[in-house]
Structure 1
Amino acid sequence: MNRFKTSKFKNTTPKIGKKDGWINNVRAGSFSCQGNHIKASAKFVVFNTEQAGGGMLGLSSVKPGSDGQWTVTQLPCHSDLVTDMDFSPFDESVLATCSGDETVKLWSLVDPELQQPSSPELTLRPGQGRIELVLFHPTSSGLLAVGATKSPLIWDTSRPDTPLAGSYRWRT
């Protein structure tokens, strides 16, 4: 006697065919970092791509174009591997990226079918070594947490000259 029963819900999941929402022919590599390798907002999807000698992101719209296909464009954003990325919860076109090149960059993205900006809106240089993580605050506009090798930092992107907090000594 078989002690496992066949689920009555086994045929409720729809079968996905070729034209049911897949973005094909995307080259991605294997990366050694702590952060995200793919991130989405209400408008965009960004992901690390395999590119020798630089930090390159692939960018696509969440919705397909008028021909039913997704346009994937390249965004050259750092001189080293992009270690993490995050979209602002207040503006789905604002993307923060960080990298092994010790910078954090804020990008104002446009529709993937248009030419993306060639330079970021803002570049932060914390001077704390390789930057692994970046995260926008979920309820306070403009606050950005940065996880660097030497110390975590918190930046107000409207006043980027100095971090609000950083160089903590953690109590044990």
Structure 2
Amino acid sequence: MDAMNERIFCLPILVMLSLAGCSGTPPRQGLPPVVEGGAPSSEPAARVGVPRGEEPVVVSPPQSGGGAVVALLERADDYRRSGDVSGEAATIERALRIEPNNARLWSRLAEARLEQGQPRQAEQLALKSNGLATGDRALQAHNWRLVARARWALDDAAGARAAEQRARSLDRR
């Protein structure tokens, strides 16, 4: 009789374990697959959304993300050149999931958001980039110019002037 009780006790556990193995998270949809490789382009990037007299920030290759982040940045460049800022932003977001502490990626996403007409988010992203860009005065100055552009778009003239002043002070150092 003990063997029968053990079987009855074990049967529900086995059923639950086998059902748990069938459940899982559904596959993610909507994002294109990551393509490794690709030769670096010798062509300069298009100057979409960059004001006259200001150079675009060039995102240097990542320290730890390897080929995946480089491939994503190349794809983001392609989206930008074709005028697809939404595709560019989504691709940069994917790169940020791989390298969340890359200040240049946050700055690049801020540029895309500003171009998409989202100045509040652009301002916050540029400030986040500055928090991560310790020691990189050129990137910090660029980010303050992005903050100024966002604040001008939000009709915050005093805030925009203050951000422009911060950028100038970083340029002088």
Q: Which has the larger radius of gyration?
A: 2
TM-score by length of 1: 0.30
User: More strand per residue: 1 or 2?
Assistant: 1
TM-score by length of 2: 0.30
